Amino acid sequence: MKKIILVLAAVMAMTCGDVYAQKKNVARAKAKLNAEVPDYKGAREAIDPALTDSVTKNLADTWFTAGKIYYKLFDEEQRKAWMNQGADENLMATSLMKCLDCMVIADSLDQMPNAKGKVRPKFRKQIVEIVDIMRPGFINAGGFYFKNQNYEDAIKAFEYYLVYPELKFWEDEKRQAFATDSMIPTIQYYCGACASQSNNSKLALEYFKILDQTYKAENRPIQEQEEMFQFMIYEYGRLKDSVALMEMYKEGVQRFSFNTFYARSLVNEYLSKNDLDAALGWIETAINQGDSTAIFFNLKAQILEHKGELKEAEKFYLKAIEKDPEFADAMGSLGRIYYNEAVEELDRVNNIKDNRKYQVAKAKMESFFLKPLPYMEKAHAVNPQERDYIVALRGIYYNLQGIYHGAKKTALSKEYEAKYKEMDAKMKSL
């Protein structure tokens, strides 16, 4: 029994000694903090163990002292920065964030009732003063990390700035001022940009969605609204969220009708699903809204062509070319329709068994191959690297040189033979 008592006494002595040591650390930290020549780094080394001790970590005084130390560390480096004396920006940033963490805990403990059930805070006024004046520092801290491409820490620093209205120790007027701070959208933008840079699309979207709503509510210039909208589309694209993208394209058609990107993207999505009627419906909607651009006429023609309605497709390809005479896509597509018709006719002619009828029919092939020629030549001139145009022209020139040779038009035959060889060489070089 005596031995057990001695062991318990030893354990109690060790525990009391440890508690005393940690309280002594707090006192030592205060001494270094308040010395005539302060030693802030020494004060930090003294206070840090007390923040995890089972007794001192539950004292508001411990956390308030730590908060003051970290604020002083930040302030000391900030003054160096102002005087261009080589400030430690990383120490500034980490101290600032640590300071706010400590002050929040200190205030929470400071609001705890005492043994008599009374709440008599000692530190709130000082906490409010310190935390209030250090808020702009979080913008600089986030900027420091952003500049060094440390995007995750940049987000953390910027979010400290954003959380200010939620801190419990503000008066209502002050809280409202923080909540309506005009810098908030800018900081949210940088948070979204940092999240995007660090490939965290889900977090980026959280911020961009908030900003999208803010920009609409504030009636920002439509270009700014669309820029934010495009950021969201980019992140959904990285997430391969096709459902969300479809909804974004639909909304984009309504909100930004001046930009055909949304309708084109929407149509392409429907085409990829082979939902031609839905794609055509959205094009009709866009055209009916007054967006009768070459792009929409071309898209409508493409869908009609997919549906096998070649005559209707031809009509809208021609409308697209009328709107934009340099529209290679529409010219190439129309040329392809005419070229395919010529090839089909050539196959029919080649199957004629009667030589006299064959010669008569073959002589009429000239008009079939001349029909796609100007469209394919113009499309090739606009986009000389497009393989489909080169292949089509090669086929057209080959057939024309044969037709003219048979008709004894030597000059034309040689001309088209030379063009055929040119296209053949181009095709082989691609």
Query: Looking at this protein, which amino acid is placed at residue 112?
Result: M
pLDDT for the residue 311 = 95
Number of structural domains, the chain?
2
Q: What would the two tokens of residue 29 be? A: 């930290």
Q: Is 343 contained in some domain?
A: no
Is 168 within a domain? no
Is the distance from CB of 22 to CB of 53 less than 8 angstroms?
yes
Report the predicted TM-score, pTM, of the whole model to 2 decimal places.
0.71
pLDDT at 65: 95
Question: What does the pLDDT read at residue 4?
Answer: 47
Output the six-digit token pair for 220.
């920002």
Q: What is the pLDDT of residue 290?
A: 64
Tokens of 382: 């606009």
Of 156, 52, 37, the residue nearest 102 (C-alpha)? 52
Rounded distance, CA 169 to CA 271, Å? 57
Q: Evaluate whether residue 428 is within a structural domain.
A: yes
SS3 state at 28: helix
Q: Single out the residue of 338, 325, 301, 322 nearest to residue 379, CA to CA.
A: 325
pLDDT at 303: 87
Summarised one tens digit per residue, pLDDT across range 66-105 is 999 999 999 999 999 999 999 999 999 999 999 999 999 9
CA atoms of 270 and 76, how far apart (whole Å): 61
**Largest CA-CA distance found in the chain, in angstroms, rounded:** 132
Residues in the chain with pLDDT values less than 70: 1-22, 289-292, 405-409
Q: Does residue 151 form part of some domain?
A: no
Report yes or no on 274 lying in a domain: no
Q: What letter would DSSP give residue 48?
A: G
What does the alpha-carbon distance between residue 101 and residue 79 come to, in Å, rounded to a whole number? 22
Structure tokens belonging to residue 261: 């990107």
Evaluated on CA atoms 275, 276, 277, 283, the torsion sign reads positive
Query: What confidence score (pLDDT) does residue 407 get?
Result: 58
Is there a domain that residue 173 lies in? Answer: no
Report d(CA 288, CA 244) in Å as an integer.
25
- How many CA within 13 A on the CB side of residue 323? 17
Domain limits at 101?
1-112+124-143
pLDDT tens digit string along 33-77?
999 898 999 999 999 999 998 888 999 999 999 999 999 999 999
The answer as to whether 375 is a domain residue is yes
pLDDT of residue 371: 96
Separation between Cα atoms, residue 66 and residue 55, nearest integer Å: 15
Residue 382 amino acid letter = V
Positive or negative, the CA dihedral 51, 55, 58, 63 is negative
- Quote the CA–CA distance of 111 and 95 in Å, as a whole number: 24
Cα angle vertex 161, ends 58, 74, to 5°? 65
Return the closest-CA partner of residue 393 out of 344, 347, 342, 346. 342
DSSP string, 131-155: HHHHTHHHHHHHHHHHHTT-HHHHH
Take residue 19 and report the two structure tokens written for it: 């508690």
pLDDT of residue 21: 57
**Tokens linked to 419:** 């063009």
Q: How far is CA 196 from CA 93, 237, 250, 285, in A?
A: 22, 12, 24, 34
Residues 142, 151: Cα–Cα separation, whole Å: 9
Angle 321-324-328 from CA coordinates, rounded to 5°:
70
Residue 220 lies in a domain: no
Find out whether 14 and 51 touch, Cβ atoms under 8 Å. no
